Amino acid sequence: MAPTYKQWTTELDGVDKLKMGEAPMPGDLQQGEVLVKIRAVSLNYRDIEVVSGDYAHHQSLTQSSSLVPCSDMAGVIVSSKSSRFQEGDRVLSIFNQTHIKGQVKESDMASGLGFPLSGVLAEYRVFDGEGLVKCPDYLSDEEASTLPIAAVTAWMSINTFNPLGQYLDVSASSDTKKPTLLVQGTGGVSVAGLQIARAAGLNTIVTSSSDEKLARATKDLGAGTTVNYRTHWEWQEAVMKATDGAGADIIFETGGAKTLRKSFDCIAFGGLISCIGYLSGKEDGSDEVNRLNINVLALRRNVTLKGMLNGPRERFEEMLDFYAKKGIKPVVSKTFTFDEAKDAFAFVRDGQHFGKVVIKVST
């Protein structure tokens, strides 16, 4: 019988309907391709949306009927026809497989792993060698698998306007007034942002719905100021107070509809709001508090509002150098076995995690 490997597939009809199945081992590789044995996969909020059939805000992408979900993996090359990698090399996937340099193009979105391309929640996958980066030696497979979407998006949300090689790092500066980063929640992007900001010497503010998670952000990761957005709904006031009325220089806008107005009220003059996600909804309310007049809001404090879509391979590699130099260890909240993949999706869907959730595929 021909050799097979195991994989999970989705018909975009819900986490509960994920199916474990088998696929034939790939045949001969094309020039430039590699076969990767996948060891660890990390989950992103996007994966929950894809599997649930809710990932519909990128108009150029159409829903396919069945696919292997997930985009972020760490693995090892088992055979190579790429000049970039050899058998035995540890590697990480990049999210949009064709996004190598510079600004993302609409055409790059067609190469997103785990939608619209089939993804990585499988024991093996063939990649173009161009769509991978070398895995840092000091990180475990589980830790490293968390980096492609969450950490790269966090890196770009801080450094998007800094040229390659000139990333923000004031850790050695004697200037007493350091920039402040505000992250919303304690999910994958926010925790990576907090870790990067701390290593780069920035002041940090974290919001969360959980006092326990905030205590962890302070104790384990050295967060500067923490605010519970559930018990202190006017958290923008706490941000202004913590910054002596100046506001945060960079805000990770992961909340969306119910948080953007607040971000405009606590951004520093000339600051950057990186629009990353929409966990509180995709559409503004029509009431006084949630209705936005973006033109005036952006203008009154000279704000830059920038939509973020992950980042290119060259910035991922830049970030990996920074991580290694600073010894940053990504935060893995919980690791599930390959057989427990459905439980891992449900865990992220229900917001139980702090940082990242990982599925261990193989050793």
User: Which residues lie near ligand NAP (CB under 6 A)?
Assistant: 44-46, 149-150, 153, 184-190, 208-210, 213, 229, 254-255, 258-259, 276-280, 308-310, 348, 351
Task: Give min distance, CB of 8 to ligand NAP, in A.
Answer: 19
- Distance between CA 331 and CA 323 in Å, rounded? 13
- Distance between CA 260 and CA 276 in Å, rounded? 11
- Distance between CA 244 and CA 241 in Å, rounded? 5
Q: Quick check: 259 and 234 in contact, CB under 8 A? A: no
CB-wise, 188 or 247, nearer to ligand NAP? 188
Task: Give min distance, CB of 166 to ligand NAP, in A.
Answer: 21
CB-wise, 94 or 189, nearer to ligand NAP? 189
CB-wise, 247 or 255, nearer to ligand NAP? 255
Spell out the alpha helix ranges (H) of 205-354. Answer: 211-221, 235-242, 260-266, 294-300, 313-326, 341-349
**Which two three-digit tokens encode residue 362?**
């193989």
CB-wise, 28 or 283, nearer to ligand NAP? 283
Task: Give min distance, CB of 276 to ligand NAP, in A.
Answer: 4
CB-wise, 52 or 362, nearer to ligand NAP? 52
CB-wise, 179 or 355, nearer to ligand NAP? 355
Task: Give min distance, CB of 44 to ligand NAP, in A.
Answer: 4
Q: Quick check: 67 and 281 in contact, CB under 8 A? A: no
**Which two three-digit tokens encode residue 99?**
């996004």
Q: Which residue is nearest to ligand NAP (CB)?
A: 187
The helix (H) or strand (E) run that includes residue 164 is none
Question: What type of residue sits at position 64?
Answer: S
**3 state SS of 98:** coil
Task: Give min distance, CB of 150 to ligand NAP, in A.
Answer: 6
- Distance between CA 331 and CA 244 in Å, rounded? 30
Nearest to 96 by CA among 52, 152, 18, 154: 152
Task: Give min distance, CB of 345 to ligand NAP, in A.
Answer: 11
Q: Is the peptide bond before 116 cis (omega within 30 degrees of 0)?
A: yes
CB-wise, 187 or 224, nearer to ligand NAP? 187
- Distance between CA 151 and CA 137 in Å, rounded? 17
Task: Give min distance, CB of 43 to ligand NAP, in A.
Answer: 8
Phi, psi of 20 (to 5 degrees): -90, 130
